[in-house]
């Protein structure tokens, strides 16, 4: 779809150009007949001026026509605000962003001395009114003459869609008809939901207050109302209270990443921001699209909201489907136990349902949140009212009891209190309608003449200002006094004129959830006052009221908080639910450590100069010494640490590893260059070559790092001293945005938990069921055959990646993601043939995010803890992880729902239990974060490792065509030319296994890995004359199996030669058998890869089927990325490789592996 601005211009261009075109054409035609002799420039100028002149005349003519129509009806037009369109829009926008609710409208009221006026903006006519009779006619007596209108619906469409608050006519009647039956007395009087969520919220409040911090009561109430509304309306508690509460701004550094990353926090941020942006549109009329010219600002926020609500919708639709297929379930559950279940019985249109979910959450969360928030504010301002409320609560409910429906009916003062809050701070302070025909508005008991509104006029009415009018509520209207709803003032003002109080609207569109809101607010208020007292504003934590407000009229001058309006009213928050950018967060964390030495030294020097006269240093030198304190102390500490480590090493009969003598910036620069554009691990290889050793220590940014390719070191790290090594907080922090707390990024009990629940699934029986491979392998080879038949090369790495992704997702999660169905990419020379459906396929977006996320996360490892400074303003991996989650979340939801069905139906449980790893996982945890993290981690293992093995395997077949013949000979002997391999076949295929091992030796899927010491460690090398080396606690150990696998002293003089026979002949027993840790492609020890045999089976199966079908593999020289020229002189395979290997978490070929091959004819062999 075109962006809003161009779409608007294209729509209105004919209207804009028509006058200019008509005038211009007329002038040129008249000149042809010599009716005038104007020069061309004059005709062009007149033509251009035609549109604004016609627009001006039309406005004047419309005003005159409206005045005549008004007079004909015995009415008048409202007084007109004399304000230019741009000035009016600017003032209204400022009012929404930084003003007091409706302040600009109130200022215009004062100018005209009336309670209504008309404002024209770019031809749009708007009536603003605070007259109860006008409100009555708009909402009730002339209801059929007013709609939400095309303009409002258009402005709110990105946010509310066609939901109940943004629809008219038949669509509104449809929404109203299907929602009304749900709000019965019985349903809205069931308080179990309030009990659970209220108690949880007050417990969270108690914990935070015990820590000594104030709390954001609006945020707390918002979570209570969100959880309660979602559970009541949708049967699904979103559990926002479990995210924890935000700390105040003075302690915001204590807000954890899990708080910011909780789905409900992201939803609420998108929800709030979307409402603000949508409300700003209302100030610009049709021209809002020009403000958001190139991008609909609300649309991406609505997508975030839909990601949150869509699982609820799908769950409800699936439940309906199950009921329709199972009459027994239908008898037990009529499908109307929640409003959402009730809705899906009337429509299954996903758009209507999603729109309605968002609309209902606005009503269910925001209106009651506003009422309770301003209620607490009034308790702060009026402690005497708090005492009166508590007296009634103790009398009617008791000190500990939960309120009942009957209690609430008897609590007159509490209801009066809530009504008084709603009077002065209504949840929806302004609302609007649009006339669908000419309308006359009258005012009974007034000398004012009736007002005439032409068709298409927007009528904006402010209950906020109407509720505060002294002529309607008495001279004390601006005073907060709940008794006005109980004493004689009730009968004097409200009873004879009920439309002076409209907090829930009125007429046919009166809020269906009015009693629900009263019950919810009363319940919370009762429990709050049973538990807490002495409410006070926290000094310095709330937004300060602007100085200019002190001179304003009414409550604006006395309010101690800053009310703000989007769709509903709230208190403008000081705390933010947006996480600080990585760089700022890092600086705030380390700042105390950075400045402490400088402050201490500076304070000491000033004190000794001032009080002891110990020196006479000038101020500039004191300042200089203070500034230099930190780097000097850091340098001194590093030297002392080195000396301390040497002493500890000597005490353990060990030595420290040789230290790389390079600056921190040089080390970081070389590491990051190696990751981004170098050969895998080349920086480490160059350093060890320079120092003539297989291990080396380097210190940068206070990180101590050991690099090693010693098998005995690797054995100790992975096995014999396993308990002394963790993944460590630094690696976990670097990978958190990508892997979360999944198995590859966890330590301690979390890792044991992951390992314990995944290990039982990898049995011989499960990993030897090859049906999944058969389907996906045949499909992938068929795609290859088609593309080769078109005369194009194939990116075999991409093809294998799709095969492994589809197979892994089906094996692990029972859900084939169908990436092979997206089609495969054409080479760059024919990339124009790639279709939109290819680029937009969900699996393509997932793989793109998956690959880029791994690459960006891996670059972080080159910068230690300082990675946040390179991503200062934005975590670059987080949005990519969101794309991945949007892909995997449906699988998780489906598994959780299947588990729920099994629990509810024992027969299902017996038939279908733990048939996938995911169904096995959800039986052990239902935590969405743990499950989503684990899905991503398992897909890294399930897709990337086998993709890497097979891609480099084919690379070797190209380099060594004689091996293809040897492999095919074994395949034909053990499997046959066309048969599918079995587990028994694979056990007998020694050469094929040797081939795969040789690929893994020279091109291991994970070429480098890390651990961190959790205590001092001594590493020995038994077959070396080298002394043991000492590693202090906190040392990062990077071990490279890539370079260990290529060492000639470990594998023989031909170590750099690709020769599978080394895993079969005497070299196996000479090198590998006595020293098995020289070969660790799948790690070793307790953290050895659980999917090792799965990967061997999958790779063997694909290789067999590939060689049964194709032969004569060749590089496409025009498509593959060529190695840099400087690699030609490098040592080892870097100097001879014809492809560009790269490493993210796993190794792959940069740019893919584009190849051609011929179809193999078995009968011609």
Q: How confident is the model at residue 790 (pLDDT cuts 50, 70, 90)?
A: very high
Res 910 pLDDT > 60:
no
* Virtual torsion, Cα 834, 838, 844, 848, nearest 10 deg: 30
The residue-averaged pLDDT of 109-116 equals 87
- Note the pLDDT of residue 909: 53
CA distances from 109 to 103, 128, 462, 828, 1050 (A): 10, 9, 12, 65, 90
Contact between 975 and 981 under an 8 Å Cβ cutoff? The reply is: yes
* CATH number attached to the domain at 95-324+335-571: 1.10.630.10
Query: What six digits make up the tokens of 646?
Result: 């040497």
Q: How confident is the model at residue 576 (pLDDT cuts 50, 70, 90)?
A: very low
1080 annotated as belonging to a binding site for a ligand: no
Highest mean pLDDT among 306-315, 972-981, 1087-1096: 972-981
- Cβ-defined contacts of 43-48 (< 8 Å, 24+): 47/20, 47/21, 47/23, 48/20
Query: What six digits make up the tokens of 965?
Result: 């013949």
* Threshold 0.85, pTM exceeds: no
Higher-pLDDT residue of 492 and 298 is: 492
Q: How confident is the model at residue 463 (pLDDT cuts 50, 70, 90)?
A: very high
Instruction: Kindly report, residue by residue over 161-214, the tens digit of the pLDDT.
Output: 888 888 888 888 888 888 888 777 777 777 899 999 999 999 999 999 999 999
Res 1 pLDDT > 70:
no
Question: Is it true that 95-324+335-571 and 711-821+850-1159 share their CATH fold?
Answer: yes
Contact between 128 and 109 under an 8 Å Cβ cutoff? The reply is: yes
- Which backbone phi and psi does 569 adopt, to 5 degrees? -90, 145
CA atoms within 13 A on the CB side of 192: 7
CA distance 626 to 638: 19
The residue-averaged pLDDT of 970-991 equals 95
Higher-pLDDT residue of 926 and 654 is: 654
Q: How confident is the model at residue 372 (pLDDT cuts 50, 70, 90)?
A: very high
- Note the pLDDT of residue 504: 92
Q: How confident is the model at residue 969 (pLDDT cuts 50, 70, 90)?
A: very high
Res 577 pLDDT > 80:
no
Instruction: Kindly report, residue by residue over 319-355, the tens digit of the pLDDT.
Output: 888 888 776 655 445 556 788 888 888 888 888 888 8
The residue-averaged pLDDT of 539-562 equals 88
CA distance 355 to 1114: 54
- Note the pLDDT of residue 907: 66
CB atoms within 10 A of CB 1015: 12
DSSP letter (8 states) at residue 680: T
- Note the pLDDT of residue 983: 93
**Is the domain defined by 711-821+850-1159 classed in CATH 3.40.50.2300?**
no
Instruction: Kindly report, residue by residue over 815-843, the tens digit of the pLDDT.
Output: 888 888 888 999 998 888 888 778 778 78
Contact between 169 and 144 under an 8 Å Cβ cutoff? The reply is: no
Contact between 541 and 560 under an 8 Å Cβ cutoff? The reply is: no
Higher-pLDDT residue of 222 and 95 is: 222
Pairing status of strand 1029-1031 against strand 1017-1019: antiparallel
The residues near 265 (Cβ < 8 Å, ≥ 6 apart) are: 240, 243, 259, 577
The residue-averaged pLDDT of 371-385 equals 96
Domain positions in the chain are: 4-72, 95-324+335-571, 711-821+850-1159
Instruction: Kindly report, residue by residue over 432-458, the tens digit of the pLDDT.
Output: 899 999 999 999 877 889 999 999 999
How far from each other are the two terminal CA atoms of the chain, in whole angstroms?
55
CA distances from 857 to 732, 840, 849, 874, 877 (A): 11, 24, 12, 13, 7
Contact between 1120 and 1153 under an 8 Å Cβ cutoff? The reply is: yes
DSSP letter (8 states) at residue 449: P
Q: Express as a percent the part of the chain with pLDDT over 70.
A: 95
Quote the mean pLDDT of the chain.
Answer: 87
Find, among 819, 844, 820, 859, the residue nearest to 738 by Cα.
Answer: 859
The residue-averaged pLDDT of 245-274 equals 79
Contact between 939 and 888 under an 8 Å Cβ cutoff? The reply is: yes
Instruction: Kindly report, residue by residue over 853-891, the tens digit of the pLDDT.
Output: 888 888 888 777 788 888 887 888 888 888 888 878 878
CB atoms within 10 A of CB 828: 11
Res 708 pLDDT > 50:
yes
Find, among 939, 75, 982, 175, the residue nearest to 509 by Cα.
Answer: 175
Query: What six digits make up the tokens of 72?
Result: 């004909």
DSSP track, 638-658: HHHHHHHHHHHHHHTT-BPPP
Residue 1029: in which H helix or E strand, if any? Answer: strand 1029-1031
Contact between 681 and 1007 under an 8 Å Cβ cutoff? The reply is: yes
Residue 1036: in which H helix or E strand, if any? Answer: strand 1036-1040
Q: How confident is the model at residue 530 (pLDDT cuts 50, 70, 90)?
A: very high
Pairing status of strand 116-121 against strand 1017-1019: unpaired
Instruction: Kindly report, residue by residue over 914-929, the tens digit of the pLDDT.
Output: 678 888 888 888 887 8
Higher-pLDDT residue of 328 and 688 is: 688
Query: What six digits make up the tokens of 723?
Result: 């308990």
Q: Express as a percent the part of the chain with pLDDT over 90.
A: 46
Q: Is 384 left (phi over 0), alpha (psi -120 to 50) or beta?
A: alpha
Res 476 pLDDT > 90:
yes
The residues near 611 (Cβ < 8 Å, ≥ 6 apart) are: none
Find, among 888, 899, 915, the residue nearest to 809 by Cα.
Answer: 888
């Amino acid at each position: 779809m075109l962006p809003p601005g161009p779409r608007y211009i294209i729509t209105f261009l004919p209207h804009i150009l028509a006058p200019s075109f008509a005038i211009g054409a007329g002038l040129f035609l008249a000149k042809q007949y010599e009716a005038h002799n104007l020069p061309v420039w004059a005709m062009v100028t007149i033509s251009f001026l035609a549109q604004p002149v016609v627009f001006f005349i039309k406005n004047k003519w419309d005003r005159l026509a409206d005045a005549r129509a008004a007079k004909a009806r015995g009415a008048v037009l409202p007084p007109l605000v004399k304000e230019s369109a741009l000035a009016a829009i600017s003032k209204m926008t400022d009012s929404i962003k930084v003003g007091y609710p409706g302040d600009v409208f109130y200022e215009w009221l004062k100018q005209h001395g009336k309670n209504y006026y008309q404002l024209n903006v770019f031809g749009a006519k708007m009536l603003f009114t605070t007259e109860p009779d006008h409100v009555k006619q708009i909402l009730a007596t002339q209801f059929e003459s007013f709609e939400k209108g095309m303009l409002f619906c258009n402005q709110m469409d990105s946010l509310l869609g066609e939901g109940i608050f943004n629809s008219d006519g038949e669509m509104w009647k449809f929404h109203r008809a299907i929602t009304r039956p749900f709000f019965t007395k019985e349903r809205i009087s069931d308080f179990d939901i309030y009990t659970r969520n209220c108690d949880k919220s007050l417990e969270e409040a108690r914990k935070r207050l015990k820590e000594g911090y104030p709390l954001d009561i609006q945020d707390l109430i918002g979570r209570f109302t969100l959880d309660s509304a979602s559970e009541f309306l949708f049967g699904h508690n979103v559990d926002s209270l479990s995210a924890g509460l935000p700390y105040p701004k003075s302690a915001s550094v204590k807000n954890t990443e899990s708080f910011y990353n909780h789905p409900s926090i992201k939803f609420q941020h998108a929800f709030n921001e979307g409402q603000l942006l949508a409300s700003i549109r209302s100030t610009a009329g049709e021209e809002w699209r020009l403000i958001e010219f190139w991008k609909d600002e609300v649309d991406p926020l609505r997508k975030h909201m839909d990601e949150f609500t869509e699982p609820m919708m799908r769950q409800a639709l699936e439940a309906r489907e199950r009921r329709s297929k199972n009459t027994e379930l239908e008898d037990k559950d009529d499908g109307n136990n929640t409003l959402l279940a009730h809705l899906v019985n009337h429509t299954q249109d996903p758009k209507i349902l999603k729109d309605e979910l968002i609309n209902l959450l606005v009503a269910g969360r925001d209106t009651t949140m506003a009422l309770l928030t301003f209620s607490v504010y009034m308790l702060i301002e009026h402690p005497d009212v708090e005492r009166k409320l508590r007296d009634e609560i103790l009398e009617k409910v008791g000190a500990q009891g939960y309120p009942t429906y009957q209690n609430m009916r008897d609590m007159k003062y509490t209801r009066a209190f809530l009504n008084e809050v709603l009077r002065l701070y209504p949840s929806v302070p302004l609302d609007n309608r649009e006339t669908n025909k000419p309308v006359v508005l009258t005012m009974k008991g007034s000398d004012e003449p009736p007002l005439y509104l032409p068709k298409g006029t927007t009528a904006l009415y402010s209950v906020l200002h109407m509720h505060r009018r002294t002529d309607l509520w008495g001279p004390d209207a601006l005073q907060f006094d709940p008794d006005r709803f109980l004493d004689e003032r009730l009968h004097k003002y409200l009873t004879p004129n009920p439309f002076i109080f409209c907090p829930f609207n009125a007429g046919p569109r009166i809020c269906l959830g009015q009693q629900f809101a009263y019950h919810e607010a009363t319940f919370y208020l009762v429990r709050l006052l049973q538990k807490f007292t002495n409410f006070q504003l926290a000094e310095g934590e709330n937004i300060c009221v602007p100085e200019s407000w002190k001179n304003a009229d009414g409550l604006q001058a006395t309010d101690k908080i800053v009310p703000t309006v989007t769709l509903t009213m709230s208190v403008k928050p000081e705390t933010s639910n947006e996480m600080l950018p990585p760089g700022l967060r890092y600086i705030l964390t380390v700042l105390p450590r950075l400045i402490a030495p400088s402050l201490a030294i500076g304070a000491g020097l000033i004190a000794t100069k001032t009080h002891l006269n110990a020196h006479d240093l000038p101020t500039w030198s004191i300042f200089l010494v203070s500034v230099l304190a930190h780097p000097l102390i850091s340098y001194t500490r590093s030297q002392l640490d080195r000396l301390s480590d040497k002493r500890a090493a000597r005490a353990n009969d060990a030595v420290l590893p040789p230290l790389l003598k390079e600056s921190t910036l040089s080390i970081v620069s070389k590491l990051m260059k190696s990751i981004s554009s170098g050969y895998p691990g080349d920086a480490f290889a160059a350093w060890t070559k320079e120092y003539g050793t297989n291990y080396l220590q380097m210190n940068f940014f206070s990180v101590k790092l050991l690099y090693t390719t010693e098998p005995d070191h690797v054995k100790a790290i992975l096995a014999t001293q396993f308990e002394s090594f963790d993944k460590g907080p630094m690696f976990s922090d670097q990978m958190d945005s990508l892997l979360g707390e999944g198995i590859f990024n966890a330590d301690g009990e979390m890792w044991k938990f992951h390992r314990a629940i995944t290990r039982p699934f990898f049995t011989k029986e499960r990993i030897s069921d090859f049906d999944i491979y058969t389907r996906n392998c045949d499909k992938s080879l068929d795609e290859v055959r088609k593309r080769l038949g078109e005369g194009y090369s194939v990116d075999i790495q991409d093809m294998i990646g799709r095969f492994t992704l589809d197979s892994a997702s089906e094996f692990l999660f029972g859900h084939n993601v169908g990436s092979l169905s997206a089609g495969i990419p054409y080479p760059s020379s024919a990339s124009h043939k790639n279709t939109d459906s290819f680029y937009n396929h969900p699996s393509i977006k997932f793989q793109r995010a998956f690959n880029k996320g791994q690459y960006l996360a891996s670059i972080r490892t080159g910068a230690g803890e300082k990675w946040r400074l390179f991503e200062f303003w934005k975590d670059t991996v987080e949005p990519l992880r969101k794309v991945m989650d949007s892909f995997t979340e449906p699988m998780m939801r489906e598994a959780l729902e299947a588990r729920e069905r099994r629990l509810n139906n024992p027969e299902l449980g017996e038939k279908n239990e733990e048939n996938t790893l995911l169904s096995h996982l959800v039986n052990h945890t239902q935590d969405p974060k743990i499950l989503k993290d684990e899905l991503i981690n398992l897909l890294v293992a399930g897709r990337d490792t086998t993709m890497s093995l097979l891609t480099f395997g084919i690379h070797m077949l190209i380099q060594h065509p004689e091996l293809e013949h040897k492999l095919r000979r074994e395949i034909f002997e053990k499997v046959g030319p066309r048969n599918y391999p079995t587990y028994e076949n694979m056990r007998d295929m020694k050469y094929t296994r040797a081939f795969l091992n040789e690929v893994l030796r020279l091109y291991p899927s994970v070429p480098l890995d890390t651990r961190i010491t959790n205590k001092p460690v001594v590493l020995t090398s038994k077959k070396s004359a080298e002394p043991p080396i000492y590693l202090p606690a906190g040392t990062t150990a990077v071990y490279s199996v890539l370079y260990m696998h290529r060492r000639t002293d470990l594998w023989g003089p031909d170590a750099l030669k690709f020769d599978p026979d080394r895993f079969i002949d005497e070299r196996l027993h000479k090198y590998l058998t006595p020293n098995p840790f020289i070969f660790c492609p799948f790690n070793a020890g307790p953290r050895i890869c659980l999917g090792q045999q799965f990967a061997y089976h999958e790779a063997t199966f694909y290789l067999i089927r590939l060689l049964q079908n194709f032969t004569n593999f060749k590089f496409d020289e025009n498509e593959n990325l060529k190695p840099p020229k400087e690699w030609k002189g490098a040592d080892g395979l870097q100097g001879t490789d014809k492809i560009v290997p790269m490493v993210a978490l796993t190794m792959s070929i940069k740019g893919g592996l584009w190849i051609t091959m011929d179809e193999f004819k078995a009968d011609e062999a």
